[in-house]
A = this chain, B = another copy of it.
Amino acid sequence: MDISQFVAQSIGTWRSQRSAHHLAFQHFEAVQSVVDITTLDMSDERVIALCKSYDVDPSSAIAPFHMQWEGESDWDEDAEPIKGETVLVPVPDANQPNHGQLLREQGYAETIEAAGKYYFTEDGMFVLETSYDRAAAEERIWFANPKLRFRVSMIKTSGGSGVVTASFASEIKTNA
């Protein structure tokens, strides 16, 4: 598995069922959402702008994509629907093709730009580590089959040892 194959497999519309475990107080949160992942052209101005803001030469980026999600959590029944979108741009390492950077217009954990480091394990699991100001996130994504992917995320305090939230998403592709 390399980043191009991984992005290609991810393109589509996914029905996502996500459980978040808030570990300190043993709370379960259930989130149902629809996630749309579409390819972007390398020439897309949002891709170029994101590369620029990280001083990355756009020619070293590959397979940029757009992600959009909309869903509902059972955490607070009165809350507005969870909604968002972001642009993601992979930048493989020149020397280690299974490693690279993933630039993101807007993070999940904080609404700021973020650049995470990714690698693939030998059995095709994508692992992404992102450091924020006061927290760090680790995300693992893998395909059980072409129409089913799993996503495990954890949010750690910036010290790194304290994991505050772990979450698990099962995502079923509803179209090609």
Hey, which bits of chain A sit against chain B, CB under 8 A?
15, 17, 19, 21, 23, 26, 28, 30, 32, 121-123, 125, 127, 138, 144-145, 148, 150, 152, 154, 161, 163, 166, 168, 170, 172
Contact = CB atoms under 8 A, between A and B. Distances in A.
Nearest to A165: B170
Contact of A166 (B21, B154, B170): B170
Given A17-B26, A28-B17, A122-B122, A150 B166 contact: yes
A21 B26 contact: no
Contacts of A23: 17, 148, 170, 172
Report copies per complex.
Answer: 2
B28 A30 contact: yes
Contacts of A168: 19, 21, 152, 166, 168
27 contacts: A15-B26, A17-B21, A17-B26, A17-B28, A19-B19, A19-B28, A19-B30, A19-B168, A21-B168, A21-B170, A23-B170, A23-B172, A26-B32, A28-B30, A121-B121, A121-B122, A121-B123, A122-B122, A138-B144, A144-B154, A144-B163, A145-B161, A145-B163, A148-B163, A152-B152, A152-B168, A166-B170
